[in-house]
Amino acid sequence: MTETLSPEKRRLLYRAMHRGFKEADIVVGKFAQDNLAGMTESETEEFARLLEVPDQDLYVWIIRGEGVPENYRGPVLARMQAFDVAGAMPRR
């Protein structure tokens, strides 16, 4: 899949999968794997902005939908919030 991504999207995928906070790595990384290829330019820009948010904040926004500042609300975050987080977590 990564071979079909543009260099910019490959960088975003790497950043999404290597957040530094394991749960965020899994959730944001899996979301990126499943969605980056089909994102429009504006969605890609929104996703890049979201990756600038500290891990703990972004994770809470995704899981609980709480405390999201107006300037971060958008279609990509809404899709991340609707994403099957449980399905992204590894099975034990």
Q: Which two three-digit tokens encode residue 18?
A: 């290597």
Task: For 53-70, write each residue's pLDDT tens digit.
Answer: 999 999 999 999 989 999
**Percentage of the chain modeled with pLDDT above 70:** 88
Burial class (CB in 10 A: 0-12, 13-18, 19+), 4: exposed
Contact 8, 41 (CB under 8 A): no
Distance between CA atoms of 22 and 72, rounded to whole angstroms? 22
Which architecture, in CATH terms, is 2-83? Orthogonal Bundle (1.10)
What is the domain partition of the chain in residue ranges?
2-83
Cβ–Cβ contacts within 10 Å for residue 61, how many?
A: 20
The pTM of the full predicted model, rounded to 2 decimals, is 0.87
